[in-house]
């Protein structure tokens, strides 16, 4: 077996999906990072978690990083006898900043590096596996590749187009989580044709605005497909988005929420009491291994 005898460390960025109108399609990598270190050991599974999720996530085979590593090992056809996993988490859990995508991408990359399997599991295959595990590609794409990503699924095949993008980002993170399943459960089975047309146009405009026309961002971030339907699960977040937009600030719900993302600086005074505030930039490199 070609198992490394030295530790492998993976750093994975936070991500924001949807960005307003780009529901389940657009994603952005942000310079806030989780870091995992994995080492092959003679036997057993040893997990240590610090930061976000400490004391909450399981410390056994059901841990998402471990499950992701196991999926990669199964595909590669080999695995270490035992593992020591250390997670230093900064990306908040259940807040719409891609914590599950970071765990999946981090686990897959760590497993591939640990058994020296890049020739058997290239980036395209790893992206497909990450999409299968996550259920959709919009967060795993920027987590893996960085930048601004447009992702979709052809049949069962995940695909991505990555673009370079630099735009200032401020995120307002509330103290309580909202599960993705709960947020998705609030969406209707169908939407009016006019709303679908509206979002198609705004999503196309948003790509242009992020690349070279920032003056269009307030219009480009308008949405009619998901944010208002989810407002009951995150009323304070929705109020913050609306109040920022009234002031001309392009603000959206990040992913499934409840974090609020704004393409702006100098809006710290809008942060509700008890919320965390982060000034972020776009991460261009995606997940890295060392």
Using CA atoms, how far residue 255 sits from 13, 26, 27, 96, in Å, is: 15, 10, 9, 5
Q: Which of 216, 254, 268, 260 is nearest to 236 (CA)?
A: 260
93 is in an annotated binding site: yes
CA–CA separation, 4 and 253 (whole Å)? 41
100 is in an annotated binding site: yes
130 is in an annotated binding site: no
Q: Are 162 and 145 in contact (CB under 8 A)?
A: yes
101 is in an annotated binding site: yes
16 is in an annotated binding site: no
272 is in an annotated binding site: no
Using CA atoms, how far residue 48 sits from 59, 95, 169, 178, 234, in Å, is: 7, 22, 31, 25, 31
Residue with tokens 């009951």: 232
Q: Radius of gyration of the chain from Cα atoms?
A: 19
Q: Could you tell me where the DSSP H helices lie in the chain?
A: 64-76, 99-114, 123-134, 140-145, 180-185, 193-212, 217-220, 235-246
94 is in an annotated binding site: yes
102 is in an annotated binding site: yes
Q: Are 103 and 65 in contact (CB under 8 A)?
A: yes
> Binding site membership for ATP: which residues?
92-102
Extract the annotated binding site: 92-102
């Amino acid at each position: 077996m070609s198992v490394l005898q030295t530790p492998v460390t993976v750093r994975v960025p936070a991500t924001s999906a949807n960005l307003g109108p780009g529901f389940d399609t657009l994603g952005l990598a942000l310079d806030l990072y989780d870091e995992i270190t994995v080492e092959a050991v003679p036997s057993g599974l040893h997990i240590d978690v610090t930061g976000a999720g400490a004391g909450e996530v399981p410390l056994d085979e059901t841990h998402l990083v471990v499950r992701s590593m196991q999926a990669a090992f199964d595909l590669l056809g080999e695995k270490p006898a035992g593992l020591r996993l250390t997670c230093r988490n900064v990306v908040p859990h259940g807040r719409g900043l891609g914590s599950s995508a970071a765990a999946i991408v981090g686990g897959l990359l760590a497993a591939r590096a640990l058994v020296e399997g890049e020739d058997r599991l290239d980036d395209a295959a790893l992206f497909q596996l990450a999409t299968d595990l996550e259920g959709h590609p919009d967060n795993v794409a920027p987590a893996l590749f960085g930048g601004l990503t447009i992702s979709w699924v052809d049949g069962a095949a995940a695909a991505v187009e990555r673009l370079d993008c630099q735009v200032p980002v401020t995120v307002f993170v509330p103290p309580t989580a909202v599960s993705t399943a709960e947020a998705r459960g609030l969406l209707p089975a169908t939407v009016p044709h006019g709303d679908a047309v509206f979002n198609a146009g705004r999503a196309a405009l948003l790509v242009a605005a992020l690349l070279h026309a920032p003056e269009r961002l307030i219009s480009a971030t308008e949405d009619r497909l998901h944010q208002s339907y989810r407002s009951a699960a995150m009323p304070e977040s929705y109020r913050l988005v609306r109040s920022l937009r009234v002031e001309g600030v392009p603000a959206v719900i990040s992913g499934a929420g409840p974090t609020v993302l704004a393409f702006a600086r100098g809006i710290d005074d809008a942060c509700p009491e008890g919320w965390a505030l982060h000034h972020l930039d776009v991460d261009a490199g995606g997940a890295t291994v060392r």
